[in-house]
Amino acid sequence: MGAQKRLIRTICLAAAIAVSSAANSAFAHQTETQEGVASFYSDRFQGATTASGEPFDQQALTAAHPSLPFGTKVLVTRPDTGQEVEVLINDRGPFIQGRIIDLSKRAAAKLGMIRRGTAPVMVTLLD
């Protein structure tokens, strides 16, 4: 039974690595920049555990992305204002169609989007 569990765990881990690698590769091969809409986390998520296992901190410069590996650094730019912020991907999301990144409140403030709630952005890989 122990060997079977280890085999299943190994297969699952290999599949997760393959999906993550393929997703990152797809991002890089299409273009190193994605365009879409950014949003930011509600205050109710403060302290909640992110998908990477870290506690969420509204004051950290972090973000959620659907497919980029945890630890990836990206530059988020508002083309309409030129404001930009560098963030570290440590969570998954956003889970609303049309949105490409979910930012911490501090990152959203640097982009001047707190009052608005969402903003058009370009997300550029830095790693």
CATH number of the domain that 72 lies in? 2.40.40.10
Looking at residue 31, its pLDDT comes to 59
DSSP 10-51: HHHHHHHHHHHHHHHHHHHHH-SEEEEEEEE--GGGTTPBPT
Name beta bridge partners: 124.
33, 75
Closest CA to 45 of 66, 20, 62: 62
> Which of the pair, 32 or 103, is modelled with greater confidence?
103
Residues 40 and 90 in one domain: yes
CB 92 within 8 A of CB 51: yes
Q: What is the mean pLDDT of residues 18-45?
A: 70
Query: What is the percent of the chain where pLDDT is above 70?
Result: 75
Q: What is the mean pLDDT of residues 3-31?
A: 46
pLDDT of residue 70: 97
Q: Which domain range does residue 79 map to?
A: 33-125
Q: Do 45 and 91 fall within a single domain?
A: yes
What pLDDT digit, counting tens, does each position of 75-91 carry?
999 999 999 999 999 99
